[in-house]
Amino acid sequence: MLSALGRVSALRLKHLILPLLLGALTSLLSWWLYAQYRYGFGFTLNGSPINDFLFSLCGIGFIEEFVKLIPFLFFLAFTNTIRKPIDYILIASACGLGFAVLENLMYISELGFDVIHSRALTSSVTHMACSGIAAYGFMLRKYRWKKQYWLIPLFFLLAVGAHGFYDFWLLNSSVKPFVLITLFFYLSLIVVYFSFINNAVNQSIEEGDAQSMARFDPILTTSVFAGSMILLFTFEHIATGAVYGTHYANVAIAKSFLSGGYLIFFLSIRLSRIRIEPMRWKRPDVLSGIFPSRVFGEKTEEEYSEISTSSPDEHTSPQE
């Protein structure tokens, strides 16, 4: 997915490997910071909603977003890798994905192969999205509001808040029954993330740059993502069967499709709905298209425009 988005700029898969590796490497720093919180300050999860919420924000969200930001800042300050607006989000997302890969390996070693799909669809995407949100502040300061330096810490704190809020509903036992809140927030986060990606893509293509527009194909990007998810499910099924037996693997893959099917569908739809409008800033979506009934019900601004102009007596353009 990241390499497909990179076709808008000069970034290719080979340019994303180093950010991914550095993201994985710097993730080791988070374990040292966790130890400082636990043994230095005596601050850890204890089951209290207030304590666990603060720990999720400061002890998890802040630490992990700070650690993921380090390799991004390295590329921003010491290399010429980041040249276009979309590069900000792609490099930051690659750093976040690298962090998630090492974290996922730890969970797989503890819980088994049948958590691969859930970690890939939730944890990995969440890490990428939060890193992308933090990077979006740098992009806005560079390309839209050049003197507004406060955008950088603001969007970093938004990433910290999103990360911590998401983790809190997963970690605190007293709020785990409200799992739908976690799902709703996750979907909202993805909508915002793809809105930021859409703006970054728009700002990376100038008016009349047909060559760059032709290089980016949202349908192809969606196909690559969906195909990679199918391969991931296949690997999980084979690995689970080899370790635990065929019957267990068949039951696990059925549960995986039930729990992860809608997420793959949702992410694929959001990718396919990226629309290129060169040099235009769109309002970020927050709740648009989260529910199944609205996924296909959304209309692009171009479609609204066609409706409003094709039959003025029967249709009106939507209010802003």
pLDDT in tens, 134-173: 999 999 999 988 889 899 999 999 999 999 999 898 888 8
The pair of three-digit structure tokens given for residue 280, joined into one six-digit string: 């235009």
CA distance 192 to 285: 6
pTM metric for this prediction: 0.80
Q: pLDDT digits over 251-283, tens only? A: 777 776 666 666 777 777 777 777 777 878 888
Give the pair of three-digit tokens for residue 88: 């900000």
CA distances from 257 to 190, 201, 283 (A): 20, 31, 33
Torsion of CA 170, 176, 177, 182, to 10 degrees: -20
DSSP string covering 247-264: HHHHHHHHHHHHHHHHHH
Length of the chain: 320
User: How does the average pLDDT of the chain come out, rounded?
Assistant: 78
pLDDT in the model for residue 68: 94
Domain ranges of the chain: 2-287, 289-320
- Which stretches of the chain drop beneath a pLDDT of 70? 1-7, 111-120, 207-218, 225, 232-233, 235-237, 256-262, 286-320
Reference 29, options 111, 98, 94; nearest CA is 98
